[in-house]
Amino acid sequence: MALVALDRPLPTPAATPGASGGCSAGGCGSSADKLAQLPEHIRAKVHNHPCFSEEAHHHYARMHVAVAPACNIQCHYCNRKYDCSNESRPGVVSELLTPEQAVKKTLAVAAEIPQMTVLGIAGPGDPLANPERTLATFRALSKNAPDIKLCVSTNGLALPELVGEICEHNIDHVTITINCVDPEIGAKIYPWIFWNNRRIMGMKGARILIEQQQKGLQMLCDRGVLVKVNSVLIPGVNDQHLKEVSRVVKAKGAFLHNVMPLIAEPEHGSFYGLMGQRGPSDEELQALQDECAGDMAMMRHCRQCRADAVGMLGEDRGAEFTLDKVAAMDIDYEAAMKRRAEVRAVIEASRAAQQQGRSQTFIPITSLKRKKPQPAPAASPAARFAVATTGGGVIDQHFGQAREFLVYEATAAGNDLDVRFLAARKVDLYCSGGDTCGDAEDRLAKTIRTLEGCTGVLCSRIGFEPWERLEAAGLVPNGEHAMEPIEDAVAAVYRELLAEGRLDAPAKAVALSA
Amino acid sequence: MAYRIIESCVNCWGCEPLCPSNAIQAARPHFVIDGGACTECDGDYADPQCASICPVEGAILDGLGVPVNPPGSLTGIPPEHLVQTMAEIRAR
Ligand code: SF4
Ligand code: SF4
Ligand code: SF4
């Protein structure tokens, strides 16, 4: 089970103005602008959704329960010894729960952590290959906690036949993993499917899977259910094809297309892992995400979190919710729901307050110091900055302790300086290159490789040696903005480098990829 | 005659709900088929259900003790082509 989330201590409206913790100073601003482009009914749905709204994910929590063990297809990047790789990092094993246990656990967590808004079933297999278990869980939760949104993820094979029932159970969004719309490509990803009581191999199976995915997507969109599409980027297999996938699924009405990297290591025992299929580099991934997501920065904060972590971002409270402890808890459903309503009201008030301070993230370029007075350049070069943070919207992490960096891009457009969040890059949980992970490479070198394409690195502090190594790699280290809101700090560093004329040449760090 | 699950089973639950004879138990260290209850799906399905969804080559044996899904049958890559396929995949 997973509760991934997302908050620092809950802000009260009174404490919000000027507080430096949390995202109170407009530090997580730009997502609201991206959301503003969506139709109203979709915007309302994603507003409180920690998985979709980059801003909401600082305030609200979600959790997964593992009730659905079986799967009806084979993906080449998955080893069924472990959880569904579409929804979890490879190699993770969740504790399988019965629907009754899952319901009890969800209610317990939602009582203890009132920021909980979303309950998802995402495995350990395909939820819709286990319809009784999945639907029993949803049925009981709709009854006992009608304020909690339900979501489900699927490979899509069984989706069309279940759309009707899904819609009965207060399920407001569905994630479908769609890796291709061409059976020939599909056959390289899915060796077989189980369909109408038979195993169907190769292209024939892939064609059926693709048809079912597209049909299910259409049916859900026709009924106004929010649909997100995930794709796994597999270099040399579907990398170029994903642009076509993106076009097709958006035309059908998917509101978001999220491209995730293939993670394939021999030790995970998947076909791709054993065969040596490589995953994409951070640069390849980002380029595709840019093309497929268009202007929508939502989901960029997706960390492909472990499906069984419990707690706020950066902590794990799983130990508080073991089956024994949950069984012993006495939960007052009504009181818990009331408390959630109160907490949400507080969060919403504080978010509304933040909205007003949002203009801070856009800094007029006219305020930049320039050596020669001249009109602002029509377009200054875009620059990317990696930020070390524990997730609260401020720069609060030591370089050496960062297990991931958030990458922001600053651009000067017209008179405004725009800072937008691009992606989170993991440092040490997996290495991102095929043969680049030799033993000789130390951790710092790996970290620097992770920062490929960035101009600078912002962190709360940084040691002398890493400082020198970063500079040698052509990156600009900066520890001067500790505890400042990320976007403000990125804007400030960008402004500084622009004024010093250091942004014209592309970052030398790219040389690492040669 | 009855099918049998052997130790390479990864306990994925694929087979258990499909068995028309309720012959499969989610046992540890791996799932087991009750030989007395298994009908080989005779009369219910053309293909034995457990062996048609099992993702692990070799994990299920038929009544004669022969793997229903021999090496290469699920990946679609015959063993003699493995080296060449691996080279192609590594070149991606
Ligand atoms: S759908 Fe999920 S569980 Fe099934 S094979 Fe694919 S990644 Fe694995
Ligand atoms: S062959 Fe058929 S009856 Fe026998 S265990 Fe497998 S699914 Fe059950
Ligand atoms: S489908 Fe195969 S691997 Fe999965 S539980 Fe049954 S025998 Fe084991």
Which amino acid residue places its CA nearest to atom 7 of ligand 3? B9
Domains and CATH numbers, chain B: 1-92 (3.30.70.20)
- What chain A residue is nearest to B18 in terms of C-alpha separation? A197
Mutate to test the pocket of ligand 3, among B18, B60, B62, B68 (most ligand atoms within 8 A of CB): B60
| From the candidate CATH numbers 3.40.109.10, 3.40.80.10, 3.30.1330.10, 3.30.420.130, the one assigned to the domain spanning A356-499 | 3.30.420.130
Q: What is the token pair recorded at A305?
A: 């979190």
**Any residues with CB less than 8 A from the CB of B14 and at least 6 apart, and which?**
A70, A71, A72, A80, A125, A194, B50, B53, B54, B55
Query: What are the chain B neighbours of A81 within 8 Å (beta carbons)?
Result: 10-12
Does ligand 3 lie within 6 Å of residue B13's CB atom? yes
**Which residues make beta-bridge pairs with A118?**
A62, A149
Which amino acid residue places its CA nearest to atom 8 of ligand 1? A84
CATH 3.20.20.70 fits A47-331, yes or no: yes
Mark yes or no for CB contact B12/A236 under 8 Å: no
Residue found by looking up tokens 């680049």 in the block = A436
Q: Give how far A72 is from chain B: nearest CA, Å.
A: 7
Q: Is the pTM of this model over 0.90?
A: no
Mark yes or no for CB contact A70/B16 under 8 Å: yes
A275 in B contact zone (CB under 8 Å) = yes
Fold agreement between A47-331 and A356-499: no
Whole-number Å distance, alpha carbon B3 to ligand 2 midpoint, is 7
**Helix, strand and coil percent figures for chain A, each rounded to 5:** 40, 20, 40
The rounded distance, in Å, linking the Cα atoms of A354 and A26 is 6
A130 in B contact zone (CB under 8 Å) = yes
Query: What are the chain A neighbours of B72 within 8 Å (beta carbons)?
Result: none
ipTM, 2 decimals? 0.97
The closest of A49, A2, A85 to A226, measured between CA atoms, is A49
Q: Give how far B9 is from chain A: nearest CA, Å.
A: 9
pLDDT in tens, chain A (514 residues): 444 443 333 333 333 333 333 332 333 333 444 455 566 777 776 666 655 655 556 667 778 889 999 999 999 999 999 988 887 777 788 889 999 999 999 999 888 888 788 888 877 999 999 999 999 999 999 998 898 889 899 999 999 999 999 998 878 789 999 999 999 999 999 999 999 999 999 999 999 999 999 999 999 999 989 899 999 999 999 999 999 999 999 999 998 888 889 999 999 999 999 999 999 998 898 888 888 765 454 444 444 444 444 555 445 677 788 888 888 888 888 888 898 888 888 887 777 776 655 433 333 333 333 333 334 444 578 899 999 987 667 888 899 888 888 888 888 766 677 788 777 787 764 334 444 444 445 778 888 888 988 999 999 999 888 899 999 999 999 999 988 888 889 999 998 998 888 886 544 444 333 3
HEC string for B9-71 = CCCCCCCHHHCCCCCEECCCCCCEECCCCCCCCCCCCCCCHHHHHCCCCCCEECCCCCECCCC
Q: Give how far A131 is from chain B: nearest CA, Å.
A: 11
Alpha carbon separation from B81 to A4, A206, A308, B78 (Å, rounded):
43, 22, 38, 6
Nearest to B75 among A235, A271, A276 (CB): A271
